């Protein structure tokens, strides 16, 4: 088996500290070594890599281009090792704190109201909810699991389908009145259609599903999250297209109304995505089992 091509860990730690402070003196103080020892360790690293990491002019040092590249790599790696170390130290038999990367509206409307059940069953597991809907990176976001909407294609992860969604047209009750009341699909031409910035094709999908040629419509503002779209629709800013399970309360209270009976299956589904590296931690396994049981 091939051995890893790695320089001295002490040299790497010293290089990172010198680059962070831009000073051998301050790095040496942090590492509790002499300045000459810190300088020798960085020199040994440069000799190992066979590239200069710093330029040295009189009493000033500056990272070279290779040094900046290597510093970013080393800094990120050390932060990941530190985060993992702190996590293991703080965990109790794999329990500790469960970090969940969550779609904001799904978390607010669906998951959080149900978390008391998980907490009651496993009182020794704390949880940390992090708003997360961009590119999934468990390490950078420091999360154990994530819930996302999509088509199930997240590599190097354990993926469990949770639920689909039915999307429906909704609006403020005020828009059912006036000169162009929403009594037919054709009336949509006279109202602004609110868009979801991360699901730009939602309206086209709905139009095709109900057999309407999208044609030319009056596009309204675009919002990043469903909770923003919900509030915009309640305020009468325009007509919204929303998953029915996210607006049950608003429909019940009459803050929103559904002018049409059409309900269309969305073009994706919600998934629980588990970091393969953390899948066997007790807190992760128990949350996954609880969530799938709750969905079921």
pTM of the predicted model as reported, rounded to 2 decimal places: 0.70
- Cα three-residue angle 108-114-120, rounded to 5 degrees: 135
Q: Tell me how far apart the alpha carbons of residues 283 and 278 are, in angstroms, rounded to a whole number.
A: 9
Distances (CA, A) of 26 to 21, 23, 29, 35: 6, 6, 5, 8
Q: Which domains does the chain have, with CATH numbers?
A: 9-82 (1.10.10.10), 97-164+269-295 (3.40.190.10), 166-265 (3.40.190.10)
What pLDDT is recorded for position 86? 67
pLDDT at position 56 is 87
Residue 18 pLDDT: 95
Give the Cβ contact number of residue 125 at 10 Å. 20
Q: What is the pLDDT along the chain (296 residues), one digit of tens a residue?
A: 667 888 999 999 999 999 999 999 999 999 999 999 999 999 999 999 999 999 988 778 999 999 999 999 999 888 878 777 766 666 656 567 899 999 999 999 999 999 999 999 999 888 889 988 778 888 788 888 999 999 888 888 899 999 999 999 999 998 888 778 888 898 898 999 999 998 888 999 999 999 888 777 889 999 999 999 999 999 999 999 999 999 999 999 999 999 998 889 988 899 999 988 888 888 999 999 999 999 98
Q: Collect all residues with Cβ–Cβ distance below 8 Å to 259 and sequence separation of at least 6.
A: 169, 170, 171, 175, 176, 182, 183
Residue 227 has φ and ψ, to the nearest 5°, of: -65, -30
Nearest-5° angle of CA 50, CA 56, CA 59? 150
Q: In this structure, are residues 264 and 206 in contact, taking their beta carbons and an 8 Å threshold? A: yes
Whether the CA torsion 132, 133, 134, 135 is positive or negative: it is: positive
Please report, in angstroms and rounded to a whole number, the separation of the first and last CA atoms in the chain: 46
- Sign of the CA dihedral running 286, 288, 294, 296: negative
């Amino acid at each position: 088996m091939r051995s890893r091509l790695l320089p001295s860990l002490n040299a790497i730690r010293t290089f990172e500290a010198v680059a962070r402070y831009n000073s051998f003196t301050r790095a040496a103080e942090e590492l509790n070594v002499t300045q000459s020892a810190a300088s020798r360790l960085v020199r040994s690293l440069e000799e190992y890599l066979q590239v200069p990491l710093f330029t040295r002019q009189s009493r000033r040092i500056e990272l070279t281009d290779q040094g900046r590249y290597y510093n970013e790599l080393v800094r990120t790696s050390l932060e990941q090792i530190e985060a993992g170390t702190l996590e293991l130290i703080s965990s109790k038999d794999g329990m500790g704190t469960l970090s969940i990367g969550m779609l904001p509206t799904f978390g607010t409307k669906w998951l959080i109201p149900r978390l008391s059940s998980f907490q009651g069953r496993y009182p020794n597991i704390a949880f940390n909810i992090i708003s997360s809907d961009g590119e999934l990176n468990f390490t950078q976001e420091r999360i154990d699991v994530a819930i996302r909407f999509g088509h199930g294609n997240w590599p190097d992860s354990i993926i469990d389908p949770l639920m689909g969604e039915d999307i429906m047209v909704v609006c403020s009750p005020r828009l059912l009145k006036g000169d162009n009341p929403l009594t037919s699909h054709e009336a949509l031409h006279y109202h602004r259609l609110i868009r979801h910035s991360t699901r730009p094709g939602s309206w086209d999908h709905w139009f095709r599903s109900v057999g309407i040629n999208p044609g030319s419509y009056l596009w309204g503002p675009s919002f990043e999250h469903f909770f923003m779209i919900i509030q915009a629709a309640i305020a009468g800013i325009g007509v919204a297209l929303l998953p029915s399970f996210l607006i049950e309360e608003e429909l019940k209270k009459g803050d929103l109304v559904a002018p049409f009976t059409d309900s269309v299956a969305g073009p994706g589904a919600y998934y629980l995505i588990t970091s393969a590296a953390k899948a066997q931690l007790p807190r992760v396994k128990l949350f996954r089992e609880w969530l799938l049981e709750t969905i079921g």
